[in-house]
Structures are given as C-alpha cells and as structure tokens.
C-alpha cells in the first residue's frame, strides 16, 4: 500500500482512490478475466489481433498496481482451453504477444519483486512459448512479493479432472487406492493453485456476466465485479474502483453479518454474547 501511494502524485485521482482503500481489508487474491480485446479492435475497425496487442499494457499496469497495493496473488486469464477454437492466425498472434510480454516485462517483474507462475495445461503449448515461460519462472523464482499466476491453456473443469487424476495416480503408486477417500482439502491441494489462497475478488471486463470456465472450484466465495470497460481500456483507476467496491461487500460465507460497529475480523460466538444475553 505504501509502495503504491509513494508511486502516485499526491492529489491525483488515483492517489485519492488509493487513500480511500482500507489496507487491513485488501483482497489477498485478485483474479481477472481479461475480456473484450476483439470488441475493442472492432469498434476501431481494426483486426482482432490489434485488440490483443493493446491488451498487453494493461497487464503491466495491473500487475504493478496490485503488487504495490500489497495484493498477495494476482491470477490473469490469458488463454482458455476453449480458445483453440479461434482462427489459427489469432492463436499464433497470442503466442507471439505472450513471448513479447515475458521478454519485455521481466524488468518490471523484478523491480516489483513479483514471482511468475503458470496455471493450465502448459505441456500443450508451443515449445518456444514454454521455453520463454520457464525462463521467466526461473528468473523470478526467488522473488518474495506478489505471485502472478498466468492462466494459459487453462480450464476450470480440466483443472479439477487433472487434480482428481493426480490423486488417483498417487494412490495407485503408494498402494492406498482401495482405502482412498476424497475430501475438499485433498482436491484443493491437488489443484494448480494449491499454494494460493482462494480468490477474494473476481473481476471480469467487457460486461459479460459469465465465468467462462475460470477457477470454478476456487471462486466458491469470491466477490464478483463486472465492468463494461474493455480490457485494453482497463486502467489503474478501474482496478482501484474494483477494490473499493470489494471493500463495501458484506462477506457472509453462508453465515450472518457482524453487527455494525464491530471491527473487521471480529467474530461473534456464544461467549462474547453472554453479557448481552444476561442483560436482555
């Protein structure tokens, strides 16, 4: 948070927005469905790939802002298992842009102490893309700030299938297959995101009210935020507004809200209610 405020000019709109954010209630994990590149290009009578090119800069701004804000994990949906249905030229341009991003952004990742990770069926990616990803993952491996998860060739259902298969494989290997019992923890710790907390805030740009097979398991209790802004137009201001909106939400997880006036994190149990019960 301090890092973000120091990087902004006092009195600027973003600086005022950042100041309004409660550092004690930051989302630990933000996940973003970066959508609307094609429509951004279409509105300018440009080919779809021009929208993908214009979508690179907001990735940098978003990653840098989240890191400076103190967010622990940022997961960006870059390519879904379904996106192979697109024309070959578009898919190849996406791979070229990803390689360009990785090369270009390494200094930004290092400067902000960001560790890159990839989630998805990475084995199916072109060799040059995998090489570039591996090189960036290795180069940022000892960074201890925010984790940036790029979801590439990612599908939420595919992830759950992969998790269950890996559990079965392990059980076959260690001979425990006949007594194996599934539970939520076992599945959660076998997902690609095993080491990350679940997303607190899921942002989708371009106004679509759907999840499109993203982090199906992990978003069980994420707060959803959909903006009409198309991804290439997504700015630091949009991100700060999403975080402010998140901080207004009442997260009940199926329980009841804390009575007004209680500081965040204070929970009500029978013991703390005893004095009030005696008075009534």
Catalytic residue numbers, as ranges: 35, 83
- Minimum CB–partner distance for residue 153 and ligand IPE (Å): 10
Secondary structure letter of residue 65 according to DSSP: H
Neighbours of 77 (CB within 10 A): 24
- To ligand IPE, the closest distance from the beta carbon of 211 in angstroms equals 8
The number of residues that bind Mg ion (CB under 5 A) is 1
Given the complex with ligand IPE, which of 149 and 190 has the nearer CB atom?
149
Among 14, 35, 64, 238, binds Mg ion (CB under 5 A): 35
Q: Which is nearer to ligand IPE, 4 or 214 (CB)?
A: 214
* 257-262 own/partner pairs: CB under 8 Å, 24+ apart: none
Q: Between 52 and 115, name the residue whose CB sits nearer to Mg ion.
A: 52
Q: Shortest gap between Cβ of 34 and Mg ion (angstroms)?
A: 9
Q: Which two tokens stand for residue 165?
A: 């298969």
Which position has the token pair 């990785």?
Answer: 102
> Which positions from 153 through 212 interact with ligand IPE, judged by CB under 6 A?
206, 208, 210, 212
The answer to whether residue 14 forms part of the interface with Mg ion (CB under 5 A) is no
Name 79's Cβ contacts closer than 8 Å, sequence gap at least 6: 94, 98, 120, 151, 152, 153, 154
Residues of span 58-87 touching ligand IPE by CB under 6 A: 77-80, 83
DSSP state of 12: S
For the window 203-222, what string marks contact with ligand IPE as x by the rule CB under 6 A? ---x-x-x-x----------
Residue 132 binds: one of ligand IPE, Mg ion, none (C-beta under 5 to 8 A by kind): none
How far is the C-alpha of 155 from the C-alpha of 120, rounded, in Å? 7
Closest Cα to residue 14, out of 56, 47, 62?
62
SS3 14: helix
Looking at residues 29 to 48 of the shown chain, list those that interact with ligand IPE (rule: CB under 6 A): 33-39
- Measured CA to CA in angstroms, residue 159 lies from 38, 73, 91 at distances of 26, 18, 21
User: What is the CB neighbour count within 10 angstroms for residue 239?
Assistant: 24
Q: Interface residues with Mg ion (CB under 5 A)? A: 35
Point out which residues bind ligand IPE (CB under 6 A). Answer: 33-39, 77-80, 83, 94, 206, 208, 210, 212
């Amino acid at each position: 948070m301090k890092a973000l405020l120091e990087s902004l000019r006092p009195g600027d709109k973003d600086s005022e927005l950042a100041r309004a954010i409660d550092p004690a209630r930051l989302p630990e994990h933000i996940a973003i469905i970066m959508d609307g590149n094609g429509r951004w290009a279409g509105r300018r009578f440009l080919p779809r790939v021009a929208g993908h090119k214009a979508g690179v800069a907001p990735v940098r701004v978003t990653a840098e802002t989240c890191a400076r804000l103190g967010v622990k994990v940022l997961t960006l949906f870059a390519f879904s298992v379904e996106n192979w249905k697109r024309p070959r030229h578009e898919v190849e341009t996406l791979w070229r842009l990803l390689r360009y991003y990785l090369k270009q952004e390494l200094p930004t990742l290092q400067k902000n102490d960001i560790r890159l990770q990839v989630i998805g069926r990475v084995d199916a990616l072109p060799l040059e893309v995998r090489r570039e990803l591996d090189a960036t993952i290795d180069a940022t491996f000892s960074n201890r700030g925010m984790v940036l998860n790029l979801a590439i060739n990612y599908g939420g259902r595919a992830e759950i299938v992969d998790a269950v298969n890996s559990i079965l494989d392990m059980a076959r290997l260690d001979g425990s297959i006949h007594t194996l019992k599934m539970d939520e923890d076992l599945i959660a710790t076998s997902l690609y995101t095993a080491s990350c907390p679940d997303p607190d805030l899921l942002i989708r740009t371009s106004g679509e009210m759907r999840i499109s097979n993203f982090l199906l398991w992990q978003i069980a209790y994420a707060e959803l935020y959909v903006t009409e802004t198309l991804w290439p137009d997504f700015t630091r201001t949009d991100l700060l507004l999403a975080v402010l909106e998140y901080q207004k939400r009442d997260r009940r997880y199926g329980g009841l809200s804390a009575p007004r006036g209680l500081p965040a994190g204070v929970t009500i149990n029978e013991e703390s209610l005893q004095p009030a019960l005696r008075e009534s």
